[in-house]
Chain A
Amino acid sequence: MDVSRRGLMAAAGSAPVLMTVSEALAQGVTPRRGGTLQMMLTPEPPVLQIGVNQQGPTLAAAPKIFQGLITFSPTLEPQPQLAKSWTISPDGKEYIFKLEENVKWHDGRPFTADDAVFSITKFHVELSPRARAIFTLIETCEATDPHTLRIVLKQAFQPFLLMFDPTACAIVAKHLFDGQDYRTAPAVQQLIGTGPFKFTEWQRGNFIRMDRNENYWKPGQPYLDTIIYRIIPDSQSRRLALETGQVLLSQASDIEPFDIPQLRSRPNLTVDTKGWEYFSPLSWIELNHRVKPLDDARVRRAMSMAIDRNFIINRLWFGVGKPATGPVASTTRFYDANAKIAAFNVREANALLDAAGFPRKADGTRFSLKHIPLPYGEIWTRLSEYLRQAMRQIGITLELESTDAGSWARRVGNWEYETTINFVYQFGDPTLGVARTYVSSNIQRVTFTNTGGYSNPRVDALFEEARTTPAAADRARLFSDVQKILVDEVPQIWLTELSFPTIHDKKVHNVITTGLGPSKSFDDVFIAG
């Protein structure tokens, strides 16, 4: 353990804060106290207690109330939050976090390392499948003093720090949960965190209100008095609310992509598509390999080559997002720019299918596949309609069957589909968010596992080795190898690196400053001008 490393980490951590302030100053705007920020939350989450619920809207709103040990910059460098500094032993097994000392829970009790130990070893391990998979690597997790947390791993695990963002492992109060059923504890309705905003009111179907935490541990912050999330179920009503200034900020899927061009042209609004680097959602056509001929790599490659991804980005998503080039998003660590799927080429795709033994029949088609559009809004239906056109060019008939979210999850989870659309978060590292879709040990009857049933021993071995290799350089080599195999075999047909627009009034400042976009704590957000 070396001191210089600690110093470096702390310096790296404080830099972005300085940057945002200087950035604001450069625009001639100094942070201003006060004001109410009205935003929207879509769809309304059932519960806001992170851990008990892990849906997108919860992950967006709850980090105003709950915090993690650290958070991440747009390039996925760790930044301090409740941990002011940390050190990692050279063998990559021991992590020591120094925690902020003057932090109080919203109920006035002091925050200590015991809360962190409880959150990591009990709360999230019990509730969250993501945490469960990683935190089983922990050998010891203890509070060596009230403000020092020591974690020893059974084996080195390089992406470990990525698990300490508030969206992955929010720190909750031990005194409110210990010894109770975490899902039904009273604290799940009366949220108590350490964050810059306190939960005050939730009128279901109407709004969620949070008010400034006067005892917040960062002096002078937060700047806002109140944050209000309005619940507006209809996308056109949301757009109107933003246009008329009734709300000042939209995030995630609040605004349909086809409404973005008009909103871009409004002088008082800023459209920012950054801030999705940590999640890096990647969309793809999810193929069920148990359905013939989808088990044939040539067929999958041909289907992939028939898709014009630039068209999808430019004409459907109106420039938000990027064409996917492989299984790893370009914003995720260990992305290999040299491992790319074959380019858009309808003629070659047809030739490939001919060679694979699927000639066109008399009516011009080769075979047909059933397809379930993702039931998450109009844009996904449009995507599936485009894909039907694209597949028709190579003689494949896609039969669209619409469904709702409940049936979709059930059918994908039970492998009762031929093709559908899916998008999956990558969480910064291929071990955390990519491997799960391709390794054969994760073929489960549960959504977001390897539901397609792809299996390749070589891929399994590479992912496994990369998981346990401590050095980043070695992992990079292993991930490059696995990316080369995957872009050749195309187990799923990757479409786009999704991004979601954060659209806000120009008088709202410091909105996107981290790799978690609108999911950040908002303690430095202010309204001025």
Chain B
Amino acid sequence: MELSRLPGFLLRRGVKAALVILAIVVCNFFLIHAAPGDPASVIAGQSGAADERFLAQLRQQFGLDQPLYVQLWIYLKGVLTLDLGFSHRQQLPVWTLIAQRLPATLLLTGAAFVLAVTAGVTLGTLAARRVGSWADSIITVIALTFYATPLFWVGLMLVLFFSVWLEWLPSFGMNSVGVELYGIAAMLDVAQHLLLPALTLGLFYLAVYARLTRATMLEVADQDFVKTARAKGVPEGQVVRRHVLRNALLPVITFAGIQAGQLVGGSILVETVFAWPGIGRLAFDALLARDYAVLLGVFFCTSVMVVGFNLMTDLLYAVVDPRVEVEG
């Protein structure tokens, strides 16, 4: 890649990304308001008693008494100044709520992502190198099993096994509450809590990467340049690493780019089963409570991330495969 072309590329992609995000925000806004019910009626429904004045007060406070286009305009102005608004339901700014929950989700999805990519690519490579052997069969069967099993079931089984029978790992939460832990002990505590949800979330993708890596490596291994490398006496390890794996990685990177974006929003199920205090849960609760500002805020954050990851994927292509050029 020519470095001189990078700033122009980033600028063009940045403008495009901003437009895409703006369109997403507007679409989300109308989609959310199209759902029946509003936050005031939800609160009235949960309060056990209500009257007209109560509803009117809430709607006025939430700004729901304004016409929809005015509400959209106010929201857009806010987003342009990076103000995601205020959750009247929780009486806190949306940024505060998201900032409280985002680290937990990034930790969980980050761990699951690293686990899935490293273990998946390693297993796929192993399987491809020993095609037809018992190791290949075992890996293929395992990958297929994880690929086909629903997430929540895997989660529940892991909990049954590790928390209930073996009593090794806690079944829910992100940390031990009510005990004072500092430094290494606190990190180990979080790691213990992280293991099961990260496994649950990562296993499916691990399977996908393993299968993808195995398939593309087998495809690449038959190509002429690999034969040439072998013919000129390049050691087998180097052939696999530099010639086969590197070329086989492109589809894996494509998929990882998509996955990285999905992970943030896609962890709702795992966050629910493991009571992980992340952003997926925040979005889900906000949806049920019709907490529009929070929901839009989470959508905004995730769409920014998806766009960001796409950009990073494109740059990574160029790094892995010099033939690929960055283009606006």
State whether B36 touches A241 (Cβ < 8 A).
no
Q: Which residue of B lies closest to A423 (CB)?
A: B48
Residue A244 lies at the interface, judged by CB distance under 8 Å to chain B: yes
> For B35, B91, B97, B170, which residue has the most chain A Cβ atoms within 10 angstroms?
B91
Instruction: Report A50 CB to chain B, min CB distance, Å.
Output: 11
The number of chain B residues touching the other chain, given as a range, is 35 or more
The verdict on A240 contacting chain B, using a C-beta distance below 8 Å, is yes
Residues 260 to 300 of chain B near chain A (Cβ within 8 Å): 271-278, 281-282, 285, 288-291
Interface contact A209-B177, CB-CB below 8 Å: yes
Decide: A231 and B49 in contact? CB cutoff 8 A: no
A447 near B41: Cβ-Cβ < 8 Å: yes
A266→B100 CA distance, assembly (Å): 37
Instruction: Give chain A nearest CB distance to B64 CB in angstroms.
Output: 12
Tell me if B53 and A405 are in contact (CB < 8 A): no
Q: Which of B120-175 contact A (CB under 8 A)?
A: 156, 159, 163-164, 167, 170-175
Out of B90, B100, B167, B275, name the residue touching A47 (CB < 8 Å): B90
The answer to whether A237 touches B49 (Cβ under 8 A) is no
**Which A350-409 residues have C-beta < 8 A from chain B?**
403-409
Would you call A205 and B46 a contact (CB within 8 A)?
no
Contact of A240 with B177 in the complex, beta carbons under 8 Å: no
Indicate if B236 sits at the interface (CB-CB under 8 A).
no
A406 & B91 in contact (Cβ 8 Å cutoff): no
Interchain nearest-CB distance for B10 vs A (Å) = 35
A233 interface residue (CB < 8 Å to B): yes
Query: A209 touching B171 by the CB < 8 A rule?
Result: no
Give A26-80 interface residues, CB cut-off 8 Å to B: 36, 38, 43-44, 46-47, 52-56
* Contact-residue size bin, chain A (C-beta under 8 Å from the other chain): 35 or more
Residues of B within 8 A of A413 (CB): 41, 44-45
> How many A-B residue contacts, CB cutoff 8 Å?
180
Contact B91 A226 (CB under 8 A): no
A189 contacts the other chain (Cβ, under 8 Å)? Answer: yes
The docked-state distance in angstroms from the alpha carbon of A184 to that of B58 is 12
Q: A243-B164, A244-B167, A409-B41 are in contact. Are A55 and B46 (CB under 8 A)?
A: yes
**Residue picked from A36, A203, A205, A226, most chain B C-beta under 10 Å:** A205
Taking the closest CB of chain B, its distance from the CB of A308, in whole angstroms, is 28
- Give the chain A neighbours of B271 by CB distance below 8 A: 233
B172 and A232 form a contact (CB under 8 A): yes
A129 at the interface (CB under 8 A from B): yes
Is B89 touching A54 in the complex (CB atoms < 8 A)?
no
Q: How far is the CA of A207 from the CA of B87 in the complex (A)?
A: 19
Using A446-B44, A448-B49 as known contacts, say yes or no to A409 and B178 having CB atoms under 8 A apart: no
The interface residues of chain A lying within 8 Å CB-to-CB of B97 are 204
State whether A228 touches B177 (Cβ < 8 A).
Answer: yes
Which A residues touch B2, using CB under 8 A? none
Chain A residue nearest to B175 (CB atoms) is A206
Q: Tell me, rounded to whole Å, the shortest Cβ–Cβ distance linking B31 to chain A.
A: 14
B163-A55 in contact (CB<8A) = no
**Interchain nearest-CB distance for A116 vs B (Å):** 22
Which residues from A are CB-within-8-Å of B37? 404, 406-411
A206 touches B89 (CB 8 A): no
Residue of A whose beta carbon sits closest to that of B96: A204
B173 close to A409 (CB less than 8 A): no
User: Any chain B CB within 8 A of the CB of A130?
Assistant: yes
Instruction: For A183, give its contact among B61, B167, B275 (CB under 8 Å).
Output: B61
- In the complex, whether A316 has a CB less than 8 A from a CB of chain B is no
Q: Is the CB of B275 within 8 A of A237?
A: yes
Decide if B54 is an interface residue (CB 8 Å cutoff): yes
Given the known interface contacts A230-B173, A230-B177, A447-B44, the answer about A205 and B278 at a Cβ–Cβ threshold of 8 Å is yes
Query: Which A residues lie within 8 Å of B49 (CB)?
Result: 54, 128-130, 425, 436, 448
Known A234-B275, A244-B163; contact A406-B35, beta-carbon cutoff 8 A: yes
Q: When chains A and B are docked, how far (Å) is the Cα of A458 from the Cα of B70?
A: 48
* Contact indicator A241/B171 (Cβ below 8 Å): yes
Known: A47-B91, A132-B53, A209-B178. A55 touches B47 (CB 8 A): yes
Given the complex of chains A and B, what is the CA–CA distance between A36 and B48 in angstroms?
Answer: 31
User: Inside 8 A of B91's CB, which chain A residues have their CB?
Assistant: 46-47, 52, 183-184, 188-189
In the complex, whether A246 has a CB less than 8 A from a CB of chain B is yes
Complex-state Cα separation, A44 to B275, whole angstroms: 11
Q: How far is the CA of A46 from the CA of B289 in the complex (A)?
A: 10
Contacts of A38 in B (CB 8 A): 177-178
Return chain B residues, CB-CB under 8 Å to A425: 48-49
Residues of A394-451 whose CB lies within 8 A of B:
403-413, 424-425, 436, 444-449
Q: Give A420 to B101 CA distance when docked, in angstroms.
A: 36
B51 at the interface (CB under 8 A from A): yes
Residue-wise, chain B 169-194 has the 8 Å CB interface mask toward A (1 for contact) of: 01111110110000000000000000
How far is B101's CA from A175's CA once the two chains are assembled, in angstroms?
33
Q: Give bound CA distance, A53 to B90, whole Å.
A: 10
Chain A residues proximal to chain B, CB less than 8 Å = 36, 38, 43-44, 46-47, 52-56, 128-130, 132-133, 183-184, 188-189, 203-207, 209, 226, 228, 230-234, 236-237, 240-241, 243-244, 246, 403-413, 424-425, 436, 444-449
The 29 sampled A-B contact pairs (Cβ below 8 Å) are: A46-B289, A47-B91, A53-B43, A130-B49, A132-B51, A132-B53, A183-B91, A188-B91, A205-B100, A205-B277, A230-B275, A231-B275, A233-B272, A233-B281, A234-B272, A237-B172, A237-B273, A240-B164, A244-B167, A246-B172, A406-B36, A406-B45, A407-B37, A413-B44, A446-B52, A446-B54, A446-B55, A447-B41, A448-B50
Task: Supply 9 further A-B pairs (C-beta < 8 A) apart from A44-B285, A448-B47.
Answer: A133-B51, A188-B91, A204-B100, A228-B177, A243-B164, A405-B289, A410-B37, A446-B54, A448-B50
- Nearest 9 CB-CB pairings of A with B: A409-B45, A205-B277, A406-B37, A410-B37, A206-B277, A232-B275, A54-B47, A129-B51, A407-B36
